[in-house]
Copies of this chain bind each other. A is one copy, B any other.
């Protein structure tokens, strides 16, 4: 599919400066780029392109993109004031991307991950078949290679132009997470501004750990819809990252300068479970389970222990009924 490169839509002056939506300061774009797209006056987190996000999070030159060739198809023949194909092409031209997600493998402080990143500029980061397929492959690769999965979301939700095929991407991106659970492979969701609708109602709410950027808009229904529905104004701070933290749906709100190091710490603290014998279905005793993890544990702990504490968990005192734990264990079998 040929990609056209039209002239820039904007004149030079407006290209050089951006007005901060939080503090109204005029920010020089070059400064934004040098400053992780944070407002120098108030710290407002501007949205990032997928390229900037990769630079922010991954080790230099570690990223290898996968499935770059996937492209959307207008399965429905969707046409509002213009055809879906035209919208796709406009977004491709604007962003240099084929769709709203780029995924691949890379390292964060040396730790290999499978990572998918949304770009909100591509049709509002909406999730259609390509986004769903890429994320499913991202998770499946994490499973196959036994490396953690990370998805950085920025999305208005499911892509209407693909109808229920877009809706079905909620299931397509969620189904692999069951397998990651069974296999002991962690998944970290990073919610950035905005993460709403069908993306929040699928994988993005299901991270083993969920991080969010400050003040990011995160919610299921648009605030306008919610407000219309109940006929009242939404409370202050409704659908922000901080609101979700208070209500128990986000583990931490992490300012952008700490995001990379936070992910690196989590990757070290939440390692992929120890052993993999390649079984696909849930095994009777998970092969990656404590046995493997603990034989390593035994080695680590081997020499460093005070023996003065008289714990003998193998032989606790017989209880008042005269049954020893060993006998109980026999009975329990």
Interface residues in chain A, defined as those with a beta carbon under 8 Å from any beta carbon in chain B: 73, 75, 129, 279-285, 320, 332-333
Contacts and interface: CB of A to CB of B under 8 A. Distances in A.
Given A73-B320, A320-B73, A285 B280 contact: no
Contacts of A320: 73, 75, 129
Contact of A281 (B73, B129, B285): B285
Given A73-B320, A320-B73, A320-B75, A333 B280 contact: yes
In order of increasing CB-CB distance, the 5 nearest A-B pairs are A283-B284, A284-B284, A281-B284, A75-B320, A282-B284
A163 to B, nearest CB: 13
Contacts of A129: 320
A243 to B, nearest CB: 24
Given A75-B320, A281-B284, A282-B285, 10 more contacts: A73-B320, A129-B320, A279-B284, A280-B332, A280-B333, A281-B285, A282-B282, A282-B284, A283-B284, A284-B284
A35 B227 CA distance: 54
Contacts of A280: 332-333
Nearest to A133: B321
Contacts of A279: 284
A280 B331 CA distance: 12
13 contacts: A73-B320, A75-B320, A129-B320, A279-B284, A280-B332, A280-B333, A281-B284, A281-B285, A282-B282, A282-B284, A282-B285, A283-B284, A284-B284
Contacts of A333: 280
Nearest to A129: B320
A168 to B, nearest CB: 10
Contacts of A285: 281-282
Contacts of A75: 320
Nearest to A281: B284
A120 to B, nearest CB: 26
A282 B73 CA distance: 44
A224 B61 CA distance: 65
Nearest to A332: B280
A75 B319 CA distance: 11
A231 to B, nearest CB: 25
A77 B129 CA distance: 70
A317 to B, nearest CB: 13
